[in-house]
Structure 1
Amino acid sequence: MGRLSLRNPLATPEQIAESPSQRQGMSADVEASMRSYTCHLIQASGTILCLPQLVMATAQVLLQRFYYLASIQDFPLRGIVLGTLFLACKAEENPQTIRNIINVVDIVVKRDRRYPEVVTDGYDPEYYELKNEMVIGEMQVLRRLAFNVQVELPYRLLANYLRSLKLTDQERVPQLAWNYMNNLLRTPVYVCFQPETIACGAIFFGSARVQYWTAYQPAMVGARKLKMHGEGVLDEHVAQMRKEMRDKLDAELAFASQEKNVDEGDGGGKRSQAEHVDDGTRPKSRRGVPDSTSRDHNRRRHTSSRSRDTRHSSYRPH
């Protein structure tokens, strides 16, 4: 996860199997609960600060990445929450003052612990302690992540996929897919998969919830991987495209056959040598369909033949 890339850095299988916190004796369930709680703090604090969802999601992804490189026992949760939220505000170009972030996170923590919700004064020793935790947390996150705070989120991809699959008119599928992506922020999914995979999975689970696609059932997921291109979801669109291509080809064949019958019915006089001899210079038509040059030539010949018949009604070919 330390290599710099335009793609999202992902955790290795070894890191997923045993995180630094688990190597120090913490159980997987306790670690998952603490990760979920820290993401809750970020989401609640960002909502009070009226931050965009992109900022809150970026902060949660940075926190998940950090705790795959460092132990929860070595770095307190509150300081990392403050540091990642402050970093995300700067990374997403939505800066907030240090005082606002500290006061809001402190209020959320006190509310969860049912402490009196008292805003700390700027000259209070507790405020300076929280400020030091924020600065240390920000430095530790930058150091562990090698200053790679780039986070590609799947929200834009979700909107494009829903539009491509013509699901934007559905009442519940877009909202359910959006909710699934927000809920997955509290899990390690965003450091295990790339954003396009997360967007496809959110659409699948959202549509399965309302039974929009009957071709995909949950029992099939264990049997084979979910393929969004060429199978399953896009089969209907591919079949429609093939049907349109077949109809177009049949129409061209019918048009060519009709022209041939009309030409033979005319009994039209002497044909040019170019119509009988193929010197190989004219491109051959595909699947028996005459090319555009031959069709235009037949139309002009047929029109000229009719005009001659009109001017010389007594003329008959020998």
Structure 2
Amino acid sequence: MSNHLYPLASLVQIEQTPSREDGIPESLEEDLRAYGCKLIYQAGILLQQKQVAVATAQILFQRFWFVTSMKQFGVGDVGMGALYLSSKLEECPLRMRDIINVYDVLLQRASHSIGPKADQQFRYYPMSYFGDTFYNLKEALVVAEMQILKRLGFNVHVVLPYNTLVNYLRLLGLGSNKEVCSRAWGYLNDALQTPVYAMYQIPTIVCASILLATRHLSIALPSEPPTCWWELFDTLWDDVWSVSGHIMRLYRPESSEETQLVVGMLTKKDVRRWLEENATVLPRP
């Protein structure tokens, strides 16, 4: 699988993303990426969208932040644009109006969770289709879709890992182990909330999901040279271990302060306000 068909971020982009150049800490950027992917996933469920389109949207979302700063575009807006674009790419189109409605619900609920009435039950207040909210969200969606295409150079080819996982498990003699298959499949889905699909090739990510699944189930695989199981799939241990770390980071406990910070930075205005209040580096020229 060549990088030409499956574009990956360069080492320079990985070490210093545009958001980090603008002063957003690495940990906060990763949390915002993960939350943006959660919104895409939740929207996909509410819209009854196919899993393949939701996964494609999350991967495009992650790629976008290697070429653009969160200071320029909001996480929520780009999520809408990615979901709308992926629905066309995977030939299961969604209506723009439906996406806007669903994201309005999700954003209202997120705002409620950090507001003064967070301890009260959330109640959704529908927006007016002739009001500013609808037209602002519509404009944000259209702009986000165009910017994703433009900044990714129209290279929106996405390879999903599920067929590869099935083949690898069969080769390892685990194809009939339902628990291993289920856990590894789940880890692949969890990895969509991390940048790994824009950093590593699919075989590496699949091997990481198998590693996590077999270790958590205490299933031994050949791991001593010259019979290391991951070498069967032309992957490097350091890369597999790195991807595993990205996935397991999602399971770390988060404080209420961290959650409130992330939820309060879903728009570019919120990000710029936070940067002004916590400026530690000079902005990019």
TM-score > 0.5 by shorter chain: yes
**Structure with the larger RCO, 1 or 2 (CA within 8 Å, 6+ apart):** 2
Q: How does 1:88-103 map to 2 (within 5 A)?
A: 88-103=86-101
Q: Give the corresponding residue for 1:130.
A: 137
Please state how far the C-alpha of 1:204 moved relative to its aligned partner.
2.0
2:157 match: 150
Correspondent of 1:170 among 159, 172, 177 = 177
Q: Compared with structure 1, are the counterparts of its residues 229 and 195 closer, same or farther at alpha carbon in structure 2 (3 Å cutoff)?
A: closer
Measure, in 1, the Cα distance between the counterparts of 2:91 and 2:171: 29
List aligned pairs for 1:235-314, cutoff 5 A. none
Deviation (angstroms), 1:33? 1.1
CA distance in 2, matches of 1:49, 1:164: 36
Deviations 1:110-156 (A, max 9, x none): 11222641232322221111000000101111110011111101111
1:24 equivalent in structure 2? 22
- State the percentage of identical aligned residues: 36
- 1:201 and 2:200 are equivalent in the alignment: no
Q: Specify whether residues 169 and 97 from structure 1 end up closer, same or farther in structure 2 by C-alpha distance, changes over 3 A only.
A: same
Corresponding residue of 1:227: 231
Q: Summarize deviations over 1:49-100 as a string: whole Å, max 9, x none.
A: 1112211111111111111001001111221111111001111111010011
- Residue equivalent to 1:5: 4
Aligned match of 1:36:
34
Deviations 1:195-250 (A, max 9, x none): 1221122112211211122544xxx79xx89313599xxxxxxxxxxxxxxxxxxx
Q: Which residue of 2 aligns with 1:53?
A: 51
Q: Is the 8 A contact 2:18 2:67 kept in 1?
A: yes
Q: Offset of 1:162 from its aligned partner?
A: 2.1
Distance 1:82 1:178, change over 3 A: same
Q: Distance in 1 between matches of 2:50 and 2:186?
A: 15
Residues 19 and 68, structure 1, Cα contact 8 Å, conserved in 2: yes
- What amino acid sits opposite 2:40 in the alignment? I
Q: Contact 2:222 / 2:229 at 8 angstroms: preserved in 1?
A: no
* Residue 118 of structure 2: aligned partner: none
Sort the Cα spacing of 1:214 and 1:80 in 2 relative to 1 into closer, same or farther, 3 A: closer
Matched positions, count = 223
- Which runs of 5 or more structure 2 residues have no equivalent in the other structure? 113-121, 236-285
Amino acid aligned to 2:87: C
Larger Rg: 1
* Alpha-carbon distance between aligned partners in 1 of 2:166 and 2:202, rounded to the nearest angstrom: 12
Separation in 2, partners of 1:171, 1:87: 34
Query: Residue 133 of structure 1 aligns to which amino acid in structure 2?
Result: A
* SS of residue paired to 2:173: coil
Alpha-carbon distance in 1 for matches of 2:75, 2:21: 18
**TM-score, normalization by structure 1:** 0.66
Say if 1:230 and 1:56 are closer, same or farther in 2 by CA, change over 3 A.
Answer: closer
Q: AA paired with 2:104?
A: D
- Give the AA of the match of 2:199: C
Q: Determine whether 1:109 maps to 2:115.
A: no
Q: Is the 8 A contact 1:64 1:191 kept in 2?
A: yes
**Aligned-pair distance for 1:36?**
0.9
5+ unaligned residues in a row in structure 1: which ranges? 232-318
Q: Name the aligned partner's letter for residue 153 of structure 1.
A: L
Q: Distance in 1 between matches of 2:22 and 2:62?
A: 18
